[in-house]
């Protein structure tokens, strides 16, 4: 049996990941590039390499203010022809991060 205190601690450590599609990922990468964020990627290369039908995960690792609330996220992106996702960091608008669907409990199948 798990104590209520331990259960609360375990629930507080849930992965706060979000599921996004390729269109959303490319839009977030373009925003980071356009606004010259500290964490950004080569948008042209990402557009070329990312799976157009892919499902991607983002997870907040830091919330900060850069004139506006910004979330630094760890990205797991599905790359065309690869089994292992590409991992990189990206700075995105906080309100957009909150708008994406939570990945908790999501069962992804092939």
Q: Count the domains in the chain.
A: 1
pLDDT of residue 43: 96
Whether residue 6 is contained in a domain is answered as: no
Whether residue 5 is contained in a domain is answered as: no
CA distance 60 to 9: 19
Whether residue 67 is contained in a domain is answered as: yes
pTM: 0.77
Whether residue 9 is contained in a domain is answered as: no
Digit-coded pLDDT (tens) for 37-77: 999 999 999 999 999 999 999 999 988 877 888 999 999 99
Given CA atoms 28, 33, 35, 40 in this order, what sign does their dihedral have? positive
Among 66, 74, 69, 84, which Cα is nearest to 18's?
74
pLDDT at 9 over 90: no
């Amino acid at each position: 049996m798990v104590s209520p205190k331990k259960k609360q601690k375990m629930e507080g450590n849930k992965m706060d990941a979000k599921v996004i599609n390729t269109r959303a990922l490319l839009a977030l990468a373009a925003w980071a590039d356009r606004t010259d964020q500290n964490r950004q990627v080569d948008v042209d290369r990402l557009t070329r390499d990312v799976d157009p039908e892919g499902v991607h995960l983002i997870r907040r690792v830091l919330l900060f203010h850069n004139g506006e609330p910004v979330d630094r996220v760890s990205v797991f992106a599905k790359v065309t022809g690869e089994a292992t996702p590409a991992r990189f960091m990206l700075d995105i608008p906080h309100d957009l991060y909150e708008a994406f669907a939570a990945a908790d409990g999501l069962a992804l199948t092939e």
